[in-house]
Amino acid sequence: MQFGIFSVGDVTPDPTTGRTPTERERIKAMVAIALKAEEVGLDVFATGEHHNPPFVPSSPTTMLGYIAARTERLLLSTSTTLITTNDPVKIAEDYAMLQHLADGRVDLMMGRGNTGPVYPWFGQDIRQGINLAIENYALLHRLWREDVVDWEGRFRSPLQGFTSTPRPLDGVPPFVWHGSIRSPEIAEQAAYYGDGFFHNNIFWPADHTKRMVELYRSRYAHYGHGTPEQAIVGLGGQVFMRKNSQDAVREFRPYFDVAPVYGHGPSLEEFTAQTPLTVGSPQQVIEKTLSFRDYAGDYQRQLFLMDHAGLPLKTVLEQLDLLGEEVVPVLRKEFAKNRPADVPEAPTHASLLGAARKNAAAQEGART
């Protein structure tokens, strides 16, 4: 099972000091957080993509390419790549290039992810969000798997005899997760292609996440990719820890109250009771995270949001120390217990390449 962190890259004033970091400081902090993730033994760092304030990560592959050069093991991902407003040709080429630079340590999460005003800036209409996601990904999927593509659709100019360059590393496209909070069409899309499904799992109660994951698992099996239990599931979550739970609640409350994503709504106590947000001791984080399996089944990837709402970099790095030293080792051990043998691990470039070579050998054997 993979554990890691994802960032939305918000630039938010620290409510305890009133100071707002500069964009440069926030970008550099995201890099420092990624490097710390590898240092403490995490598997994945994922950056958001946004094109409007108060967010800074407008160019994920630029950031991830830089982080790739500074790390050795960390898997680089996104949360999310905007399949609605990005040109699929540009996604195909940018992430194949990143694949080569990072020696295959790349996957990506597709999603709509945009606020309404962003769509027209890129010549699109938010009312077509689902249709854009479906058509654009259909093209991207082909661009990575076919050397020469002819294409005509509703939302971009036609392609005739087009070859996306560079080709995917070793002929193996990056693994794709389809990220969503509430759209069953995206779970259906993930299932249709046999891709992964990542549920944000921050804002909604467990019964909603359960329904979305079960829909994806059943449709994954319907399309012939395996049993429901073999579907590839990822979950988000957010935690804030201190050794003493009361200290965690007291320290995190002012940040929660002003958070761009969920502030100015329910109280911290209401939110932690009704959603996966966990504010407390490392043991409480362990217990809450292990409970995700009760409604999502055995799954492959757990990412935590750690740097939201104006938390200072020093505090986030302390959180990562706790996560890497006290939480994730226990989660790895506990999630491995009673895990059925036929539940797959999260796909990596190495595993996908091995499967591709095995399939090629089998096809060659069938011809001879």
Q: Which residues contact 267 (CB under 8 A, 6 or more apart)?
A: none
Percent of the chain at pLDDT > 70 equals 99
User: Would you say residue 83 has pLDDT above 80?
Assistant: yes
Q: Which residue has the higher pLDDT, 17 or 117?
A: 17
Weakest-pLDDT range from 313-317, 342-346, 361-365: 361-365
Q: How many domains does the chain have?
A: 1
User: Would you say residue 181 has pLDDT above 90?
Assistant: no
User: Would you say residue 271 has pLDDT above 70?
Assistant: yes
Q: Encode burial over 78-103: b for 16+ CB neighbours within 10 A, e otherwise.
A: bbbbbbbbbbbbebbbbbbbbbebbe
pLDDT at residue 263, rounded to an integer: 65
Q: Distance between CA 180 and CA 17 in Å, rounded?
A: 34
Q: Distance between CA 229 and CA 221 in Å, rounded?
A: 9
User: Would you say residue 247 has pLDDT above 70?
Assistant: yes
pLDDT tens-place string over residues 29-66: 999 999 999 999 999 999 999 999 999 999 999 999 99
Q: Which residues contact 294 (CB under 8 A, 6 or more apart)?
A: 206
Q: Which residue has the higher pLDDT, 258 or 167?
A: 167
Q: Distance between CA 62 and CA 169 in Å, rounded?
A: 18
Mean pLDDT of 263-274: 86
Q: Which residues contact 341 (CB under 8 A, 6 or more apart)?
A: none
Weakest-pLDDT range from 105-114, 168-177, 186-195: 105-114
Closest by CA position to 355, among listed 226, 244, 228: 226
**Please, which pLDDT band fits residue 364 given cuts at 50, 70 and 90?**
confident
Q: Which residue has the higher pLDDT, 360 or 19?
A: 19
CATH number of the domain to which 9 belongs? 3.20.20.30
Q: Answer for the pair 290, 331: CB distance below 8 angstroms, yes or no.
A: yes
pLDDT tens-place string over residues 137-159: 999 999 999 999 999 999 999 99
Q: Note down the domain range covering 18.
A: 2-367
Mean pLDDT of the chain: 95
Helix, strand, coil: what percent of the chain each, to 5? 50, 15, 35
